[in-house]
Every structure is written in C-alpha cells, then in structure tokens.
Structure 1
Amino acid sequence: MNSPSTGLDTALAEGGDLLWVVDQRVTRPGPTPPPRKLHLIYRFHISPDVCAILAEQELDELPDGSHEVGVIEWINYRKTAELPIFPSIGPALSRSHPPPCRRQQRRTERRHRRELQPGSDH
C-alpha cells in the first residue's frame, strides 16, 4: 500500500488547467459571520504509472489527537456526476471535455490505427 503522504507531483502530470473558481459562503449557527470559501478546481491527466504511486489513504485528525483512516479512490473524471463531492461540481466535471493532451493522444491513436489497417496507403 502506498504511503498516506504521497501527493501528486504536478510535474509528473499533464494539464493543470484551472476549470472553475467556486466562490461560496457557508452558513453556520450562531453569531459568527459566514466564512467565504474559494475553491479552485484544477484538472490534471494522471497516467496509470503516476496513479500507481499516489496515496491510497488519508489520515484525518480527530479531536482527541488520534487519526481516522480514509480510503482514496482515484477514478476517471467522467464518473464524478453521482459522487457527493463538495463543492457540488461532479455533474459539470463529468460533462467536461478531455484535457487537450488526451484529445491529441486519441487523435494520434486513431490515425495510427487507420495507417495500420490493411489496404492503407501509409
């Protein structure tokens, strides 16, 4: 199992496009003013080799100082529509276009398949 502290080295991933900025005010009971939260949503293409070295667990600190282990599941962005993601960006993310590097890779793969077909002039 991977170390809980293994985060994404963005130099190993492709993309890093800022897709959305979610500006949010959270209401809380009591006299304190609602905090403003800005969520910056980036998308990276992570190859299977890079995904293999990413964390599979996260440790959430509890009030008593102990830790609760949470499982991290790396999934394709198209599967996010039904997930309880906060902020609620799953449906929009699942409908977004693939990152440019993935679109180019698919075009290149299709071109190579056509070139390898019998009867091709290439």
Structure 2
Amino acid sequence: MTVVYWLVIALCGVVGTTFLRFAGRSWREGRSYAYRMRFVPYPDDFKKGIERAFGTVGAFHWVAALLMATVLLTPASLTTWEAGLLGTLLVALLTGVGLTLSIIWFNRPRFLVPPHMRTQQGTVRARAAARRTQ
C-alpha cells in the first residue's frame, strides 16, 4: 500500500509542476491557456477562474505532496520539530485552498492573478451579471 501513497505523491508533484509551468508562461507571455481546459466539465466562468488560479493550484499540489511525504516518513511518536513541520504544512495547505477559492470566486487578491487577467470578473460577479441580463 505504501507504493500507492508514493505514486499519489509523485502525481501531485507532476500536476503541481504542470500548473506552475502554465502559470509562469501565462505571467510571462500574457496569453490565455483556456484551450487546455476544453475537456474540463465545469462552466466557462469557473474554468476562467481556475486559469487565473494556476499558480496557487500548483503550489497547493506541491504542499499536499510535501505533507503526504512528511506523514509517511515521520514515526508514530512525533518530536516537537516534526509536529511543527506538519502543522506548518497543514496551515499552508489550508491557506492555499482559501487563496485558490478566493481567486476563482472573486478574482482577489489581485497580486496573485496574472496581470492580463486582473480585469476579469470573478465567478460570483460574472454569474450575478448573467442573472441580471436574463
């Protein structure tokens, strides 16, 4: 069963690296990678939000991989240092979730959004505007 855990950790690393590469290219080149998400079964406004949050999604996957590896490598009786490391990684993971959802829903904080996407509406505002026009 341990092999499965390490495969999941490796998969998180690959997915995190892929998202971070897309985020870096989006920041540098100022172009959209929405075509990469054409098979994702979400509404278009949510896919745009995910695209805005590529950086935080990639960081989330790397923190998740580190947290899982740390849990696998620590013994049952934790020292203070190990418990602090696990707590820090858990706080970082939850912060990543919060930032990702904030970027998708509200397009905030703007400094984490690629410059060419900062004028977009968040998913919440886009859906509210769509309801008003109907």
TM-score, with normalisation over the residues of structure 2? 0.30
Structure number with the higher strand fraction is 1
More helix by share: 2
Specify the structure having the higher radius of gyration (Cα): 1
